[in-house]
Amino acid sequence: MITIWVPKRLVEVDLYNVAARSPQALAQLSENSYARRVQYAAQKVRGSGAKIVMLTGPSASGKTTSAHCLAKALVQQGTPAQVVSLDNFFKGAAYYPKMPDGTLDYENLETLDLPLIKQCLRQLSETGKTELPIYDFATEQRSAEVEPIDLQGGVCIVEGIHALNPELTGLVPDDQIYRIYAGLREEYCIDGRRVINTQDIRLCRRTLRDAAARGRSPAKTLSMWDRVLDGETRYIKGFKTTADFLLDTSFTYELGLISRLLGEVRRQFTLEGHNAELWDETARRFEQVDPLPLELLPADSMLREFYGSQPHLTGEKCVKFVSKPAPNCKNCGAFVAIAITLRYNEDTTPVWRRMRRHLQRIYCQNKRGVYYGF
């Protein structure tokens, strides 16, 4: 296969500001561009003849939402598609390796049941059918139940941070696998000097998502950022060059959404020490960026994962909100129990952080077509 690679592009902030004078047109252009990229990725998957798509990307790259967008695009083009999260294959808390400082290493490959992953992927490639394990994040143990999956002649999209690690696909013929790396490819400069890189945007995505959806101070997210980057270096970036396709998850108008939110979050929360310096430095990078209103976000935008969350909910409001499940979502009931048990807005333990990442994969579609990403 020939790798479809997308070089990073450097855009002048002044050029963005000119485009932002027509905010609706800029937003629509950005959304349409992403949609075309996903459609093109679906065409390449179909053309490859592969049954298994392995999709990964760094934190806040939009890999989970993009996996579902890709599945939708494949269906539109006539190929049945289903998304499988590697989180299904966690072995359980008792098996988590430890970091040098004694804390649990939740990102380690050894947290996954590798023999079972290999078995399931081989069955999918040979017969199109398998039974997936179900992981109970409340107890951090595997459920006794399984979920049967039938590709019906279509494609399985496997998403997770270890998706490109060849150890997972050792029992599947290489021509049955298509590998995708999801990442941002647009950076911004002033007079040719880079001032906003893709890492800055991902940090903003992650931090603003936590603040908007959970009322969490950026301090917690910022304090974890170095460890997140270390995990990406150890487990993701080394396999980036093995990808057959690089899916660009950049949105030009996102720059204005971030600019709008940065100041609001800074006024809402108190930051001290290194966290304050890091956040203020990040905010300074966006000082020359004209802000845009969040109302520009379409209901089905991938960016809603980061900027389209409901306002911070506490106590009875939280319970009331999550107790109204959207139609056809079997996960909502479980979310209610988890939200109440783990104090959705307050618990910042590693267990909750891990569970929260799983809950972000639950997208409940309401009557208006809006996706709630918890």
- The range of the structural domain enclosing residue 76 comes to 9-252
Rounded Cα distance between 82 and 70, Å, is 10
> How far is Cα of residue 24 from the mean position of the Cα atoms in its chain?
25
pLDDT at 223: 85
pLDDT of residue 41: 97
Going through the chain in order, the beta strands assigned E by DSSP cover 9-12, 52-56, 81-85, 129-136, 141-150, 155-159, 177-183, 186-190, 193-196, 245-248, 364-365, 371-372
Answer whether residue 293 is part of any domain: no
Output the pLDDT for position 10.
96
> In the prediction, which pLDDT does 323 show?
34
Q: Can you give the pLDDT at residue 309?
A: 57
Residues 146 and 229 grouped into a single domain: yes
**Within this chain, do residues 245 and 337 fall inside the same structural domain, yes or no?**
no
Same domain, yes or no, for 108 and 224?
A: yes
The residue with tokens 């539109």 is 76
Q: Please, are residues 248 and 124 in contact by the beta-carbon 8 Å criterion?
A: no
In 3D space, the residue among 95, 90, 39 whose CA is nearest the CA of residue 66 turns out to be: 39
The parts of the chain modelled with pLDDT lower than 50 are 310-353, 356-357, 360-374
Q: Whole-model pTM?
A: 0.82
Task: Say what the pLDDT of residue 125 is.
Answer: 96
DSSP state of 309: P
Per-residue model confidence (pLDDT) at position 313: 35
Same domain, 35 and 110: yes
- The count of structural domains within the chain is 2
- Report pLDDT for 288: 95
Query: Is 268 inside any structural domain?
Result: no
Q: How far is residue 129 from each of residues 45, 160, 204, measured CA to CA in Å?
A: 19, 20, 40
